[in-house]
């Protein structure tokens, strides 16, 4: 397998509070990247500050664990301006997160700096392309299962997009 020159070396996954979708995506993405043999820094953050320092939602932890993903040691943090300098690609779980990230990026004073590319998490996914990863926080068990299914699919789609024949 050859990897495209545009393949990032670092990816940040972002949702609103960094306790459901993005920590789940961080672990799924990290595992899939490792299986694909890619060397990549993977992290997650939220656009909001409500849960800084908290572990992922217990329901997210339980559903992730049932699928072989341990997110229990992750701690929520908020996106910072430094993230735009320290990551090659920032993937937003939904269009509102993407819009919020674009505002932060637009307000970075250093216009000469190479800043992270922004994209919607599902952008490369032929199944969910352009769709938001729905926030399961107010939902039931099925909502958390749907999030895992979508994240697995979109993670794999990004990895496939970086491979060349």
At residue 6, the pLDDT reads: 80
Catalytic residue numbers, as ranges: 15, 21, 135
pLDDT beyond 60 at 165: no
- The confidence score (pLDDT) of residue 112 equals 77
pLDDT tens-digit readout, 93-118: 999 999 999 999 999 987 777 899 99
Give the C-alpha separation, 132 to 121, whole Å: 8
What CA–CA distance (Å, rounded) separates 105 from 134? Answer: 23
**Each residue's pLDDT tens digit, 52-84:** 999 999 999 999 999 999 999 999 999 999 999
| Overall size of the chain counted in residues | 165
Please state, in angstroms and rounded to a whole number, the distance separating the CA atoms of residues 48 and 157.
Answer: 27
Mean pLDDT, residues 125-138 = 95
Whether the CA torsion 132, 105, 32, 16 is positive or negative: it is negative
How confident is the model over 44-49, as a mean pLDDT? 97
Structural contact between residues 41 and 8, judged by C-beta atoms closer than 8 angstroms: no
In whole angstroms, what is the distance from residue 84 CA to residue 105 CA? 7
Task: Give all domains of the chain, ordered by start, each with its CATH number.
Answer: 2-164 (3.40.50.2300)
Chain Cα centroid distance, residue 42 = 8
- Checking DSSP bridges between strand 163-164 and strand 2-3, what pairing results, if any? antiparallel
pTM score, whole prediction: 0.95
């Amino acid at each position: 397998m050859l990897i495209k020159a545009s393949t990032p070396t670092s990816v940040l996954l972002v949702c609103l509070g960094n306790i459901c979708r993005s920590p789940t995506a961080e672990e799924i993405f990290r595992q899939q990247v490792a299986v694909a043999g890619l060397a990549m820094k993977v992290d997650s953050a939220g656009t909001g500050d409500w849960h800084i320092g908290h572990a992922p939602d217990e329901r997210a932890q339980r559903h992730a664990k049932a699928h072989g993903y341990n997110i229990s040691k992750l701690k929520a943090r908020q996106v910072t301006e430094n993230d735009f300098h320290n990551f090659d690609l920032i993937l937003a779980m939904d269009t509102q997160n993407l819009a919020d990230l674009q505002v932060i990026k637009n307000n970075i004073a250093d216009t000469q700096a190479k800043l992270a590319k922004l994209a919607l998490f599902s952008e490369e996914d032929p199944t969910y392309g352009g769709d938001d990863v729905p926030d399961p926080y107010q939902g039931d068990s099925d909502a958390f299962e749907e999030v895992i299914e979508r994240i697995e699919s979109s993670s794999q789609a990004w990895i496939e997009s970086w491979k060349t024949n």
